[in-house]
Structure 1
Amino acid sequence: MEKWETARLSRRQMITTAIVVAASVVLGNRRPWAATRYPKTIKLLESARAQEMAKYYQYMAFGRKAKEEDYKGIAYLFTALAAAELIHAQNFEKILSRLDVEISRVGKPRITVAQTHDNLMKAADEEINDIDTFYPSMIAHLKPEGFHDAITFATFAWESEKQHRDILMKIQRWAPWFFEKVAKNIDEETDKYFVCQFCGSTVDEIPSDTCPICHLSSEHYRKIEYPI
């Protein structure tokens, strides 16, 4: 009789355990497999997501300052760059979700906003750092753990930052001496900016066929509206 009671208790414990496991899945409890297999990947993605969100907030602030100073073209440029940075952050967030990482809200950082001329110089310097240092290092450290989609989205962000650098450096090259003239030309010549909603590619003319970065259809590009 005692053996039967023990067996019945054991079966009851098994059923209870199964219910708890099922409930944890339904309630969305995180599984430990990703943290074990991809610890470095998760840390790198979290860092990149936070950095891209910080750049998004910064570029939005720079855009508002440029508009306040009546540099409409530069305000529009910063708005387009902000849209691309937000896509990068969202892409990293998607990968973290797939790795069962609990997504916490990224707080708005304290942003130092100077005159538009100085904001442009700072933006260009930061883009160069991302291209030369941050993303090459990130991709190199992602490769050993081999989570392919993380490497892919980091590469997309890297290539997109190169587009940003090219735009900003054209301005940076002339701005120290002829900033007002350069700003006026930007106001007069800037037509439209388009951002690929999949990878963040930023262009002033939609490619005829596919995005040069993610190679998906050009239908993924969206026109960025002028800041109100």
Structure 2
Amino acid sequence: MKVRAQIPGVKNATNFNVVADSKTPVGSTLENLKAAIAGETAAYTKYMTFAKAAREQGYEQAARLFEATAAAELIHIDLEYTLVAQMDPDYEKPAVQAPASYSCDLNLISGANGEIYETSDMYPAFIKKAQEEGNNKAVAVFTRAKLAEAVHAELYLGAYNDLDAPDDDRFHLCPVCGYIHKGEDFEKCPICFRLKDSFTAY
């Protein structure tokens, strides 16, 4: 993802449309925040399961990518939970069972498909509703997650294509928005502009 002159968002980016065959049930913004937390929690659990499987199958770099992406989902959960707690103080985060795990190539495709759904369907739909309700905080949180998920999908597809030709690159996680950069050639996050020195390497 390229760094732009301004932080990307709904007012200066054109890739926020909801897919024509949307599969996302849309409720109130509060309901959507809870749904997003449930989805991100499921993704976190899935990616940690896939990381363990990748390492057992001998795919160390893929394992690190799954771990970095799982940590990114925790960032999104925390951002969303902060808003939910303000509106519904009694809300409790959901518990999710670990899913079945398969060969690493299929797990990478599963990860990519999930991230594509979130970036092209779920989050754009939730952003649109939050805009209608005038909830700018939710728009900002959903936007950061939406943009990060697109990069996660790209990384998963890249790992899938190069599964049998891995390199030594590390993955760097932005602690603010969950963006992940592969390699060392960057100075700041292209989503929130956080500087590289605060990133966590995997």
- TM normalised by structure 2 equals 0.80
1:207 aligned partner, one-letter code? F
- The 3 A distance-change label for structure 1 pair 95 and 190 is farther
In 1, Cα distance between equivalents of 2:196 and 2:136: 23
Quick check: 1:59 aligned with 2:47? yes
Q: Which residue of 1 aligns with 2:34?
A: 46
Q: Post-superposition shift, 1:219?
A: 4.0
SS of aligned partner of 2:89: coil
Q: Which residue of 2 aligns with 1:30?
A: none
Q: Which residue of 2 aligns with 1:71?
A: 59
CA deviations on 1:137-186 (whole Å, 9 max, x unpaired) are: 111111111111111010000010111111122244x3xxxxxxx32422
Q: 1:119-134, aligned counterparts within 5 Å?
A: 119-134=107-122
Task: List gaps (5 residues or longer) in structure 2.
Answer: 1-26
- Which of the numbers 177, 182, 186 marks the counterpart of 1:199? 177
Give RMSD over aligned pairs: 1.8
Q: Which residue of 1 aligns with 2:163?
A: 183
Quick check: 1:222 aligned with 2:178? no
Regions of 4+ moved over 4 Å: none
In 2, Cα distance between equivalents of 1:75 and 1:143: 37
- TM normalised by structure 1 equals 0.71
SS of aligned partner of 1:143: helix
Q: Post-superposition shift, 1:90?
A: 1.0
Q: Which residue of 2 aligns with 1:8?
A: none
CA contact (8 A) 2:49 2:101 kept: yes
Structure of greater Rg:
1
Q: Post-superposition shift, 1:110?
A: 4.2
Q: Post-superposition shift, 1:193?
A: 1.2
- Which of the numbers 137, 140, 159 marks the counterpart of 1:152? 140
Q: Post-superposition shift, 1:100?
A: 4.1
The higher relative CO (CA closer than 8 Å, separation ≥ 6) is in 2
Q: Which residue of 1 aligns with 2:90?
A: 102
CA contact (8 A) 2:174 2:194 kept: no
